[in-house]
Chains A and B, each alone.
Chain A
Amino acid sequence: MTQPTKDALPITVRNVTKTYGPVHALDDVSIDVHSGEFLTLLGPSGSGKTTLLMVLAGFTRPDCGSLKFGDTEVIRPPPHLRDLGMTFQSYALFPHMTVAGNVGYPLRLRKRPKAEIADRVARALDTVQLGGFGDRRIDQLSGGQRQRVAVARAIVFEPRILLMDEPLSALDKKLRDQMQIELRHLHEQLGMTTVYVTHDQREALTMSDRIAVVNHGRIMQLATPRDLYERPANRFVADFIGESTFLDVTRQGDGLAWNGMPLNLGHPVPEAPGLQLMIRPERIVMRDAPGEGFNIFDATATDVVYQGDSYLLHARLKDGTQIALRGPMRGGDALPQAGQPVTLGLAPEDTVVIDASDV
């Protein structure tokens, strides 16, 4: 195999189905990953996101479907012929090889000359900021360092596609935040098409160009992080991404109403029998006099939590619905006591109406 500088490749998945007995791990999944894109598969455990990644890598044989890297059909070739980089949740570093041994392994398999291997291993280790660690044994490394070695091993042979299976889930929060930024930079630097699997929505929102939310083996929505968060396509996505309160709303004339109160809407209303108004805790405000055009909700505070940088207010609307509100915390701000009446306001552009039927 020759290794010229390669461009990223798009991935085309068409009608892939994988069943385990009666369970559809993947149910007629089609998805396009653009060339050079960072796409995240996000979903709860058992949703099928890992199965889809394993189909891409060639470790799971689907029942049917088509998979193309660029223009080449690759649904049938075994994993070792697919020429893509991958990192595993368990890192999967070879414990009997040194760091350099691990990183150089794909190059040795490709029969590159010794000097070239040494050079490329050193460069890959520099890229993940582990220069000079080549002679270390794997068990001498911390979790974060192992993660970096795994990344170096996955990129050293310059694959055009990189798959990452929950790479940061074993790290503590601080390191995870730092690695998210680093992986993101690495992706910008190398530009390879990246498919990233995670169950952590914040991680997905932080890193991705686009996110595919997966549930029950199907893609629930494929959109940019901002669209996904602000314009969820259905109840599952709205529920899964961020926290929200849902209010049942009814049609009233041309618009919608909640408990007889007409709503000031900022977006078109979807066609569906049952509709709900989704309210994000940070989009609803608590003020004595909210701005003009705001939808006003009178409520009673039930619980107030001080969280340092912000506060979390739980309140009960007049129909008994519990609603959560998060606001910034500045010194000198007074917080209401539980039991006090509060006035909540929601701007028209923050009213998101979704199809209430659970998918």
Chain B
Amino acid sequence: MQATSDTKPEGLSPPASTRLNEDGLRRDGRLERLALFGLSSPALILILVILVIPVGWLFYVSFVGADGSFSLENYERMINRKSYRRIFYTTFQVSFLTTGLCVLIGYPLAYFLSQLPDRLANIGLITVLLPFWTSLLVRTYAWLVLLQKQGLVNNWAISLGLWDEPIKMVHNMTGTLIGMVHIMLPFLILPVYGSMRAINRDLMKAASNLGAPPRRAFWDVFFPLTMPGLSAGALMVFILCLGFFVTPAVLGGGKVIMVSMKIVSNIELFVNWGAASALGVVLLVLTMIILWVASRFLKLESLAGGGHG
């Protein structure tokens, strides 16, 4: 056969010395970066005005004493007064318990949802998220109505013979925890559900094929792969709890006093902006320390193979 062909001539690159369009391309790149910065500048300015400046002012005020001069008295008070130590203790206690209960309730629920077929899982997720879209205040007061002495829960339980006397379920720790867990649950379920859905179903089949009974396969394979989602969710819940105000204020009935409530009373009752600011600063610093420690831990976790098969 004749090797006739109509292929194009090859090797038509320009000599190495001419670099075509170099200046124009560089200018385009610079303009693109400028445009990107220009687009994000409104957000940057907003953050500066509503976040950086107030937080800076908060810092400043916390170091001003009652006489208007520089002083550490606002911080000394926190260390010396027993009531303050108690408030921090309560804050951490409520946050830990809420996080723990959210994990105990949320993880199995997320597991259940993740095993459903897509359509049912979506419906399930919407029911989990529905309360999310209702006002926080409305939900908190709803619990007040349900849990009070003459409330729905007590009346039904007594008429069903579960207990004889009305049980005190609000204006104490129990009520606070019920309300907090209910409000925080979606924050835990969403990331856990996400990490569960990302697990390749073949992994569980493989474990079982290699000889692992269902429980063993769960702890060896499934659970470790949900750890990134679980720690992210638990961290989110814990940090949100640390600064929570409405629910403990309404359902705690003054018996569960958290840092945020002390900040409010410092301002509203005692008009002591310095003391309130110092509490705010401590809360902020604590949160940042927890986030920092956790982010190192979480990063290691995801390096060890987060989620995807």
Residues of A in contact with B (beta carbons under 8 Å apart):
1, 57-59, 78-80, 82-86, 88-97, 105-106, 109-110, 137-139, 153, 157, 306, 332-335
- A78 and B208: CB pair below 8 A? yes
- B305 and A95: CB pair below 8 A? yes
- B206 and A86: CB pair below 8 A? yes
- A109 and B225: CB pair below 8 A? no
How far is it, in angstroms, between the C-alpha of A109 and the C-alpha of B200 when the chains are bound?
Answer: 21
Select B206's contact among A88, A332, A333, beta carbons within 8 Å. Answer: A88
- A333 and B205: CB pair below 8 A? no
- A139 and B211: CB pair below 8 A? no
- A109 and B211: CB pair below 8 A? yes
**CB neighbours of A106 from chain B (8 A):** 210-211
**CB neighbours of B1 from chain A (8 A):** 306, 332-335
Is B309 an interface residue when CB atoms closer than 8 A count as contact?
yes
- B205 and A109: CB pair below 8 A? no
Given A96-B225, A105-B220, A138-B305, the answer on whether A88 and B213 have CB atoms closer than 8 Å is: no
6 pairs across A/B with beta carbons < 8 Å?
A1-B211, A82-B209, A94-B220, A106-B210, A137-B305, A334-B1
**CB neighbours of A93 from chain B (8 A):** 206, 309
- B212 and A92: CB pair below 8 A? no
Q: Report, as a range, how many residues of chain B touch the other chain.
A: 20 to 34
**CB neighbours of A105 from chain B (8 A):** 207, 210, 212, 220
Given A92-B309, A96-B305, A335-B1, the answer on whether A110 and B211 have CB atoms closer than 8 Å is: yes
Residues of B in contact with A (beta carbons under 8 Å apart):
1, 200, 202-203, 205-214, 216-217, 220-221, 224-225, 304-309
- A109 and B202: CB pair below 8 A? no
How far is it, in angstroms, between the C-alpha of A185 and the C-alpha of B283 when the chains are bound?
Answer: 65
Task: Determine which residue in B1, B220, B221, B224 has the highest number of CB atoms from chain A within 10 A of its CB, and name it.
Answer: B1
- A94 and B221: CB pair below 8 A? yes
- B305 and A153: CB pair below 8 A? no
- B209 and A80: CB pair below 8 A? yes
**CB neighbours of B200 from chain A (8 A):** 90, 92
How far is it, in angstroms, between the C-alpha of A209 and the C-alpha of B206 when the chains are bound?
Answer: 26
Q: Which 10 A-B pairs have the closest CB atoms?
A: A95-B305, A92-B202, A92-B206, A106-B210, A96-B305, A109-B211, A79-B208, A88-B202, A86-B209, A80-B208
Task: Determine which residue in B207, B210, B217, B308 has the highest number of CB atoms from chain A within 10 A of its CB, and name it.
Answer: B210
- A95 and B309: CB pair below 8 A? yes
Given A90-B202, A92-B205, A94-B203, the answer on whether A139 and B305 have CB atoms closer than 8 Å is: yes
Q: Which of chain B's residues has its CB closest to A84's CB? A: B209
The DSSP consensus for interface residues of chain A is loop
Given A90-B309, A138-B305, A333-B1, the answer on whether A95 and B225 have CB atoms closer than 8 Å is: yes
**CB neighbours of A79 from chain B (8 A):** 205, 208-209
Q: Which of chain A's residues has its CB closest to B220's CB? A: A105
* Closest-CB distance, B299 to chain A (whole angstroms): 15
* Closest-CB distance, B115 to chain A (whole angstroms): 15
How far is it, in angstroms, between the C-alpha of A332 and the C-alpha of B306 when the chains are bound?
Answer: 60
**CB neighbours of B217 from chain A (8 A):** 80
How far is it, in angstroms, between the C-alpha of A293 and the C-alpha of B176 when the chains are bound?
Answer: 97
- B206 and A109: CB pair below 8 A? no
Given A80-B211, A109-B211, the answer on whether A96 and B224 have CB atoms closer than 8 Å is: yes
- A109 and B216: CB pair below 8 A? yes
- A157 and B304: CB pair below 8 A? no
**CB neighbours of A335 from chain B (8 A):** 1
- B308 and A109: CB pair below 8 A? no
* Closest-CB distance, A303 to chain B (whole angstroms): 16
**CB neighbours of B305 from chain A (8 A):** 94-97, 137-139
Task: Determine which residue in B207, B211, B306, B307 has the highest number of CB atoms from chain A within 10 A of its CB, and name it.
Answer: B211
How far is it, in angstroms, between the C-alpha of A91 and the C-alpha of B221 when the chains are bound?
Answer: 15
Given A80-B211, A105-B210, A105-B220, the answer on whether A96 and B304 have CB atoms closer than 8 Å is: yes
- A92 and B208: CB pair below 8 A? no
- A109 and B212: CB pair below 8 A? yes
**CB neighbours of B209 from chain A (8 A):** 57-58, 79-80, 82, 84-86
**CB neighbours of A57 from chain B (8 A):** 205, 209
How far is it, in angstroms, between the C-alpha of A344 and the C-alpha of B294 when the chains are bound?
Answer: 76
**CB neighbours of B212 from chain A (8 A):** 80, 105, 109
Apart from A57-B205, A78-B208, A105-B220, list 11 A-B contacts with CB within 8 A. A80-B209, A88-B202, A89-B202, A92-B202, A92-B203, A93-B309, A94-B203, A94-B220, A95-B225, A95-B308, A105-B207
How far is it, in angstroms, between the C-alpha of A109 and the C-alpha of B217 when the chains are bound?
Answer: 10
- B309 and A109: CB pair below 8 A? no
**CB neighbours of B213 from chain A (8 A):** 80
**CB neighbours of A153 from chain B (8 A):** 206, 210
- B210 and A109: CB pair below 8 A? yes
* Closest-CB distance, B259 to chain A (whole angstroms): 37
How far is it, in angstroms, between the C-alpha of A137 and the C-alpha of B304 when the chains are bound?
Answer: 8
